[in-house]
Amino acid sequence: MNANNNAAQPANQPANQAANQPANLNNIFNNLGVNFQSLVASTLRQYPRRMPVQNQGSIAYRRSRFPFPSVTDLANWALANAIKRELVALQTSVVVLRRTVDVDEETSTQVHASLKQAAESILKLERLLQIILDAIPIEARPNAASAVKAQKVFDVAELLEKILLNCEYHDFISAMQVNRTFAQAFRRSARIQQVMGLRAITDGSPFSPVANAFFVSRGCMIRLEDHHRYGHQVQDNEVVVSAIFNGSSPFEEHPLPRISERFRDTLVCQPPIKQMRVRAGCCEDPLFRRRNANNLQPHPPSLTSLADRDEEMQQLHSIDSETGITLGQVLDETRRLRDEHRYCPDAYPGLHRDDGTVDVHVHFEAILQLPRDDPVLLANRRAKASFDFEQKDFAAKDQKIQQYIAAKQSARDNGEPIPTLQEFEARSLVTNVEDHDDAEASNDDQLEQ
């Protein structure tokens, strides 16, 4: 009988839909409570329970059941938008529930309770939203004018390129793998390709696109030191561009890294250098023969002596390229020299691994002539002038302390009170003035004669 009555009722009867679909109602009930409770709970944990109160032109604080946001305006605005989304979802759920259930029937007690709870939640959420909005200054809130300004920013041509140009090389590598939009930006931007060393720059100060990009910590890598990014100064108008291969482990041999064709074409230096001298640290160091003849342990020479060793450097072989030396060439030559010198008989004990193979360090070096007004050289000169000044200042302070020590020792030996540094400086000043006066008087006497 009940089944027939239920079947006879229209399909859009709210009460019977509620009776026949309890799972849908449960979902609505869950939507009414869970998200709001979790949001409020996380908010209460994050903020102190204090709120601002306007008091005679100043802001005071009083205890409140609602938290007062104390983080940045941007974070508050993000939280306000999250609450707005929860409000919309909550209000939508209430509307759906009212349309689904016949709230006039006696069996709808649970629905009435849920609707009442939802209404209270909406009120609390609206109050919380207003508190957060009140905490954000008017001028810091996004509005129609700021939306126009934001749109102008995003309408800037090649905006992604301008942002990427502020990244480091390892960030370039990561950004290329984000999505197709980023990958296309790298393929289409001539400037990004120049910064990455994939397209040659014809002028400007030399720099290494891959400096400090690869490290020895993960397998055998090519390493360009931090101070080599813009070249290491040799003479006043010369810089050295160098790439150094170091084995990753002195105890066992690891294979060289494999890099894609795209990165194999990366230029070691911009503007491109067409020739680099190559040497193996185990025996091809020009200083090795002189040191070994005296039975001394060889060690890598200082880069500052490269200009003095130019004749000896000419005896080393080189790698050449009309379009510029690339990372791939450095890697290939490193692989060749490592295999060739794996059992080098001239390598000193410190380069031998436990299995008898030699940990070959391969050095690639080139000396570049720069204009005297090049920014790199100007920066180097300023740094050198600052260093020289600091050295002179340190030497003067050291000399003063040495004189003070001598004065203290003299006072001790003569049974006099040991002077303080201030007393010593005052006596020295008087002595210097007297010496200056005596010197001037002597000069006057000589002029009169």
Does some domain include residue 227? yes
Distance CA 245, CA 278 (A): 11
Does some domain include residue 52? yes
Asked whether 319 and 333 are in contact (CB, 8 A), the reply is yes
| Alpha-carbon distance values, 251 to 348, 352, 410 (Å) | 15, 8, 58
Domain interval for residue 427: 395-448
Q: Are residues 230 and 333 in the same domain?
A: yes
Does some domain include residue 302? yes
Distance CA 206, CA 356 (A): 40
433 phi/psi in degrees, rounded to 5: -65, -45
From first to last of its 449 residues, what are the pLDDT tens digits of the chain? Answer: 333 443 333 333 333 333 333 334 344 444 444 344 454 445 444 444 444 444 444 344 344 333 444 457 777 888 888 888 888 888 888 887 777 666 555 556 777 777 778 888 888 888 888 888 888 887 777 778 887 887 887 777 678 788 888 877 777 778 878 888 778 878 888 888 888 888 888 777 666 666 544 433 333 333 333 334 444 555 566 666 666 666 555 556 666 767 777 778 888 888 888 888 888 877 766 544 444 444 444 444 444 444 455 555 556 778 888 888 888 888 888 888 888 888 888 887 877 888 888 888 888 877 777 777 777 777 777 888 888 899 999 999 999 999 999 999 999 999 999 999 888 888 888 776 666 666 666 666 665 55
Does some domain include residue 376? no
Which of the listed residues 334, 353, 370 is the one where a domain comes to its end? 370
Task: Domain count for the chain, please give it.
Answer: 3
Tokens for 61, please give them. Answer: 């604080």
pLDDT recorded at residue 217 = 32
Place of tokens 């990244």: 167
Q: Are residues 97 and 137 in the same domain?
A: yes
Q: Are residues 363 and 401 in the same domain?
A: no
What are 183-224's pLDDT values in tens digits? 887 888 888 888 888 888 877 766 666 654 443 333 333 333
| Other CB atoms within 10 Å distance of the CB of residue 311 | 8
Alpha carbon 259 to chain centroid distance?
A: 23
Does some domain include residue 325? yes
Residues in CB range of 170: below 8 A, 6 or more apart: 213
Q: Are residues 352 and 437 in the same domain?
A: no
Q: Are residues 139 and 205 in the same domain?
A: no
pLDDT recorded at residue 336 = 87
- CA-closest candidate to residue 269, choices 241, 306, 232: 241
| Alpha-carbon distance values, 193 to 98, 204, 261, 313, 336 (Å) | 60, 16, 14, 33, 29
Does some domain include residue 408? yes
Q: Are residues 425 and 362 in the same domain?
A: no
Which of the listed residues 143, 169, 188 is the one where a domain comes to its end? 143
Does some domain include residue 375? no
Does some domain include residue 201? yes
Q: Are residues 240 and 315 in the same domain?
A: yes
Residues in CB range of 313: below 8 A, 6 or more apart: 277, 286, 306, 365
